Amino acid sequence: MSAALESVLQHPGIWRGKQLAQASEETLSTGFAELDAELPGGGWPRGTLTEILLEREGIGELRLLLPALARVSGQSAWLAWVAPPHVPYAPALAASGIRLERLLIARPQSPADAWWTAEQALRSGACGAVLNWLEMPDEKRMRRLQLGAESGRSWGVLFRSAAAAQERSPAGLRLRLEPRPDGLAVHILKRRGNPLGRPLHLDLRPAGSGPASTLSTGPARKTASHAS
pLDDT at 1: 62
Please check the confidence at residue 200 and state whether its pLDDT lies above 60: yes
- How does residue 140 score in pLDDT terms, banded at 50, 70 and 90? very high
Please check the confidence at residue 213 and state whether its pLDDT lies above 50: no
- How does residue 160 score in pLDDT terms, banded at 50, 70 and 90? very high
| Average pLDDT score over residue span 166-191 | 95
pLDDT at 194: 79
Mean pLDDT, the chain, integer: 86
| Average pLDDT score over residue span 60-81 | 94
Please check the confidence at residue 227 and state whether its pLDDT lies above 60: no
86-90, 122-126, 193-197: least confidently modelled range? 193-197
Strand, helix or coil for residue 166: helix
pLDDT at 205: 84
- Helix-helix angle 111-123:139-152, to 10 degrees: 20
Nearest to 84 by CA among 94, 73, 93: 93
Please check the confidence at residue 18 and state whether its pLDDT lies above 60: no
Residues 6 or more apart in contact with residue 145 via CB below 8 angstroms: 49, 115, 118, 119, 122, 132, 156, 158
Q: Are 174 and 190 in contact (CB under 8 A)?
A: yes
